[in-house]
Every structure is written in structure tokens, then in C-alpha cells.
Structure 1
């Protein structure tokens, strides 16, 4: 099973970190290599440009791919979206010069030129609204094109909007929301190894922001302690041999830990311990 992952850029390190946390440790490192093995002899990595990963998966060079939803949408290939990995969030937006008061809606661009690195997405966006425009495909510095008379507006990626503001561009509309996803070739969906990889990655995402809370508590205060512990279902309770106490274990959101500890202490809990959770399989 081969997974195509970004070879560089802002998506590379978070992707490798997620794979490592999921237990798919890279054996020989990822620098300046095309392929790398993992500790699972049945799983290897293929390093590629984020924009090329959808084609690699669709063409069979890889079985799974990790890249942005925007890249898959632009490629226009048939792949299955298996899991949102929760990072690389961004938006593809339509923007125009702030000083141009003739462009307030997408319909004001009829017959005009829009520059973008995402011609397929841009074409679909305007076709869905029946707005004829000329699309100028560029390979970088998209935000400069309206200021050098190459385009009247742009469709470009933004995370915070800072670059657009620096270039005096105002957002007219949101074209697409994107994040990094795990994608699969349709014919491998349902295979055991694919399900294992998806479960491993999802277990890391599920564990994020969760803590494992352990304590000892008087048995006669158990009902009260149950009431004050938020979290995933009821706590696990175990007898402590030779005492009138029980051990109480629960998974709790990190944001609730401070208040929960204070409340269980007030109800008589002792020996309270909080640990991080690396993976959580629901």
C-alpha cells in the first residue's frame, strides 16, 4: 500500500508528524527522496508535489494520497474522500482591487479577465453562475496581476487574508473551502489495509484535545463524582482491593480538566492523575 504525501512546503511537516503519531514511522527519513518505507512492511510513502498527488492516486502510482481538497478539486480526478485531517485549512476566494468600485459582485466581472492558479475550479465557479469571463492561468504572484493590468480580479488561496490586504485586494466571494484530506483510489476503498490506515490517522485526530483522568474515590461518593465528570460516556470504575475506595478513569476534554479536578476533589476524590492521550479508537 503506497501513500502519496507532500514532498515539501507547508503541508509536508504536519503530514509526516501525523503519520508518525499514528504509528507509521518513516524508516529512512524523508529528505530528498522519492520513496520511503515505514515500520509497516506493507505501507510505503511516495513524496510528490501536493498538486500532483491527486493524479498519482488516480493513475495508480499510489493507492492513497494526503493533500488539500483544493488540489483534488482542481485536478478533477475520481478519488474518494476518506478523512478530513484537520490541518491546512484555507479558502479559495474571488478578490478584486479595493479601489475598483465597479466590481462588487461576481456578476460585475462578466466579459472581464480573472487570473488564477486554479483554472478548473474558477471555470466551474463562473459556469455555475452563467457568468462569461476570460480566465488567465498564472503560476505565481496571482495577487499582483490586477495591478499590472493582466486581470480585473483573481481567484486565489487565502488563510488569514493578510496577503490580500497587503496588495489592496478585497474579497468578493468565497469559491471553495479546503483542508488536507486522506484520499483513496475508488478500487481500494474497503480493503483491510486502507481501513487500518484510516483508523490509525483518525485515532490521532480523536485524541487531540482529550486527556485521560484517573483518581481514587470513596465508594459512597461515586454517584456524585459521576455527575461532575464530563466526557465520552460514563467513567470506568474498578474496585480497589482491601479498601472502601474505587478507581475512576475517564476521558475528558482538555478544556474541562481544570474545573473537573476541582469538583471531584470537593467530592472526596484523591490521587488525581491526568495524562495525555496519543491515540483514541472509538
Structure 2
């Protein structure tokens, strides 16, 4: 029994999506050629390249068993899929924005005769309905931020991660419609029929995410300093100790720690009596 994983064929989330699959042990056999369907080094798993906006429906309809896509696209397409994991990248917000020199500073300033331009007409319509606003919606396929300045609309809804592009285009955020990130999703039937294989993929990717901000710290410690080292050593599951055969008075110690603890902790460990300290990257934590 085989499964297909739908991955964006291009755009800002394409490479991170492929990289996370490769770190999870699902490297592409023909990555450079970028065929529509690429085999992985697991004979039961193929990768289907598709437009990011098509992936929610591909997974919903069973064309792909699982897929990597944005919450914004899932919600815009009203796709019936199961979210398995938040992949911790591609975080962005769908916002309502108006020109800086307009008098629109809040939702209360919006008039019903106004027009809003967007690549997300469904999400925009829901937002307007929830706020009792009856605006004309103009669907665009790009360059949304230019719409108010060429007479197409009074407002826009658009994706932003930092707000910098909006500011550069003299637009000001009025409200946030949706917070989005990139997620791993599954087809409902596939999750039942191919549960074991899909869970294997999900578990491997989760392991990559868990390891992303972790390091393995390894060191040698004289037994007389071991208690001092233990006191300063945080870890996921306690300090692991093993004998050093060449020196009965020394043990080898190791622990998994958060990456942002490394700088300060190494100096504390040295002062506590640790030596030969190694900081090692971790590929996966299962």
C-alpha cells in the first residue's frame, strides 16, 4: 500500500517543505528534475508536486493522502482535511489593510459602499459578514497591495509576516482575519485505510521538529565533580552517565538540552569541572 505526499512545486514554502521531508528520511530520488511525481527512498511513499493553493483540495479528494500547505489555503478552500502537525514555519497573518492617508483606522470606519481587493475572497466574505459589512469584493491573483492606488479598491486583505511590505506600499493594518502557518494534513479516508504508514511519516517529521532546537551535550567529568555538574545540567530526561574504561576516576556524561541554553551552560559546566565538552546537532527525536 502506497501513499502520496503533496508538496508545493514552487514558492516560499516549497524548499522548506522538501527539506523537512529529507530530514525525516524521505529524500527525493529525482529532486533536481522536479517531475510531477517523484519517488522517495521509501518504496511506499511518493511526492506529488502541486500548486500550494491546490493541495488542500487534492488531499480532501484523495488525490494525495497527506500534504503540506497553509492554514490560510485550507480555510479559503473550506477543505475537509485532518491537521496532523504544525510544521513551525511559514507563519503569516491574513490582514485587512487600508492606505495610510485614508481615514480608515478601525472596522468602524469602513462604509458599505467601499470595495476590498483580495486573493482570499471566501475568507474575506466571511469576515465582512461577521462584521455586518456589505462590501464589494474584487478577486485578484497578485499585486494586491497596489489595488487602492490604481483605483481598484478602497481596502485590501493580504498575507503578511512582518508588515514590512505593507508599510513600504503605504498601507496600514486595520484588523487581522486569520493567523496562519504551514501544516501537515491528511485525507480522512487515507488516515483510516493507511494509518500506519501515515503515522510513520507524521512521527518522523515530528521528530525533526522536536530536534530542531535541541543539542546533544557530551563531556567527561571526574567523579569528584559529578555532583556539581549534575546541579547545573538541565536535560530532557536526566543526565546519562557511562564509565570511561581508560580512567576509573572519570565518567562520560551526556544530555539533550535546548539550543538557546548552550552558550551559558558550557561555561557553567567547565566551572563545575566538566572537560572535553562536545555540542552535537540532533537529527530527530522520536
Give TM-score, length-normalised by structure 1.
Answer: 0.95
Counterpart mapping for 1:27-176 below 5 A: 27-101=29-103, 103-111=104-112, 112-176=114-178
> In 2, Cα distance between the equivalents of 1:117 and 1:257?
43
Q: CA deviation at 1:130?
A: 2.1
> In 2, Cα distance between the equivalents of 1:274 and 1:161?
36
**2:261 paired residue number:** 256
Question: How many pairs does the alignment contain?
Answer: 280
> Does the CA-based 8 Å contact 2:62-2:190 persist in structure 1?
no
> In 1, Cα distance between the equivalents of 2:271 and 2:160?
48
Unaligned runs of at least 5 residues, structure 1: none
Q: Deviations over 1:103-153 (max 9, x none)?
A: 121233241211100001111111122222221111111111111221110
Q: Deviations over 1:32-79 (max 9, x none)?
A: 410000001111010000000001101110000101111111110100
Alignment partner of 2:53: what SS? coil
**2:213 paired residue number:** 209
Q: CA deviation at 1:28?
A: 1.4
Instruction: Give me the CA root mean square deviation.
Output: 1.4
Q: CA deviation at 1:192?
A: 0.8
Q: Deviations over 1:82-103 (max 9, x none)?
A: 11111111111100011111x1
Give TM-score, length-normalised by structure 2.
Answer: 0.94
From 236, 240, 243, the equivalent of 2:240 is 236
List, as ranges, runs of 4+ consecutive aligned residues in structure 1 with deviation greater than 4 Å. Answer: none
Alignment partner of 2:165: what SS? helix
> Does the CA-based 8 Å contact 2:6-2:68 persist in structure 1?
yes
**2:200 paired residue number:** 196
Q: Larger deviation: 149-158 or 107-116?
A: 107-116
Q: CA deviation at 1:30?
A: 5.0
Q: CA deviation at 1:205?
A: 1.1
> Does the CA-based 8 Å contact 1:30-1:36 persist in structure 2?
no
> In 2, Cα distance between the equivalents of 1:278 and 1:32?
25
Q: Larger deviation: 120-129 or 256-265?
A: 256-265
> Does the CA-based 8 Å contact 1:107-1:131 persist in structure 2?
no
